Amino acid sequence: MTDPVLSVEGLSISAAGTALVRDVSFHVAPGEVVGVVGESGSGKTLTSLAIAQLLPRGVEAQSQKLELAGRELSTLSEHERRFHLGTKLSMVFQDPMSSLNPAMRIGAQLIEGSLAHGRLSRSEARDRALQALTDVHIPRPERVLRQHPHSLSGGMRQRVMIAMALMQQPELIIADEPTTALDVTVQAQVMTILSNVNREHGTAILMVSHNIALLSEICDRVLVMFRGDLVDVLSTDELLAGKGHPYTQMLVRAVPDLATDRDRPLATIDDLQHTNEVNAHGTGI
């Protein structure tokens, strides 16, 4: 069996003594696309940030294992860890404007990271930037290299973000999908582009999204989070077959396209409350 590109064991996250994520364990195999779903506040973003060692001040993480591309992060020096994370892992965040520098041309921003890690000459980095923009289907990439972020549409900026994530040829991309900022069409485009990147380059992807229908189209497996716990790790087939925790089944039933039994009424908030009652009585989560 090939080693996973990411292994997480016993990851717990807390802030000021409050547990926010509890004892989460999962892995991502090389080339695999793994989705993460769960209601708002269930801990999806914190889990992603903990892997990237980007948790905000005051939020603490503990884990038995946090292994990326063959290296346990806790055994590395600060310098080694930065280099390892910078070259093996890329993040795609919810809001492209928060990650793009408005004062810099796209080309300079794409090339900057590659030069910082010192592995490419300027002309090699420029060639790779053009290739990355082409990979995310940006028309006229030479022109975009000379543009500033504000002159691009929201969808184009998201593509630039993904191009930036490709520059280091990472083994894993973690994408935390926009939940509110961007419209549904743009979200779907971002996911489709990442799915193409996975097919063309074999890059593993951990994709956080509220759109369980879209996730089920592009993911091999799906992780389900509920109030800080990882309650299910299911193959997409198992998910669609209605397997897993009652909360997971409710999520699937709530999407008309995924529900196999079309004669049943759609899941409602009452069903969720019922799920919570089930939980409160100690079955499951």
Ligand X SMILES: Nc1ncnc2c1ncn2[C@@H]1O[C@H](COP(=O)(O)OP(=O)(O)OP(=O)(O)O)[C@@H](O)[C@H]1O
Residues that bind ligand X (CB under 6 A): 15, 20, 38, 40-46, 56, 58-59, 179
Question: Is 168 within 8 Å of 115 (Cβ atoms)?
Answer: no
Nearer to ligand X, 167 or 223 (CB): 223
Query: Which range touches Mg ion (CB under 5 A), out of 38-46, 68-76, 219-227, 231-239?
Result: 38-46
Nearer to ligand X, 56 or 282 (CB): 56
Question: Is 96 within 8 Å of 154 (Cβ atoms)?
Answer: yes
Interacting partner of 130 out of Mg ion, ligand X, none (Cβ under 5 to 8 A depending on kind): none
Nearest distance from C-beta of residue 12 to ligand X, angstroms:
12
C-alpha pair distances (Å), 163 with each of 147, 155, 156, 160 = 15, 12, 10, 5
Nearer to ligand X, 135 or 176 (CB): 176
Q: Which helix (H) or strand (E) holds 172?
A: strand 172-176
Nearest distance from C-beta of residue 195 to ligand X, angstroms:
21
C-alpha pair distances (Å), 245 with each of 81, 91, 92, 213, 238 = 36, 29, 29, 18, 11
Among 12, 45, 99, 276, binds Mg ion (CB under 5 A): 45
Q: What is the DSSP string of 64-132?
A: SEEEETTEEGGGS-HHHHHHHHHHHEEEE-S-HHHHS-TTS-HHHHHHHHHHHTT-S-HHHHHHHHHHH
Interacting partner of 59 out of ligand X, Mg ion, none (Cβ under 5 to 8 A depending on kind): ligand X
**Given the DSSP bridges, would you call strands 65-68 and 71-72 parallel, antiparallel or unpaired?**
antiparallel
- Is residue 87 a contact residue for Mg ion (CB under 5 A)? no
Nearest distance from C-beta of residue 13 to ligand X, angstroms:
8
Nearest distance from C-beta of residue 98 to Mg ion, angstroms:
13
Nearer to ligand X, 40 or 185 (CB): 40
Interacting partner of 46 out of ligand X, Mg ion, none (Cβ under 5 to 8 A depending on kind): ligand X
Distance CA 54, CA 84 (A): 14
Nearer to ligand X, 41 or 256 (CB): 41
Nearest distance from C-beta of residue 46 to Mg ion, angstroms:
8
Nearest distance from C-beta of residue 103 to Mg ion, angstroms:
27
Cα 125 from chain centroid (whole Å): 25
Chain position whose Cβ is nearest to Mg ion: 45
Nearer to ligand X, 95 or 112 (CB): 95
Nearest distance from C-beta of residue 94 to Mg ion, angstroms:
7
C-alpha pair distances (Å), 84 with each of 39, 78, 110, 260 = 31, 10, 19, 44
Residue type, 238: E
Interacting partner of 15 out of Mg ion, ligand X, none (Cβ under 5 to 8 A depending on kind): ligand X
C-alpha pair distances (Å), 193 with each of 9, 137, 222 = 30, 8, 19
State the residues that interact with Mg ion by CB under 5 A.
Answer: 45
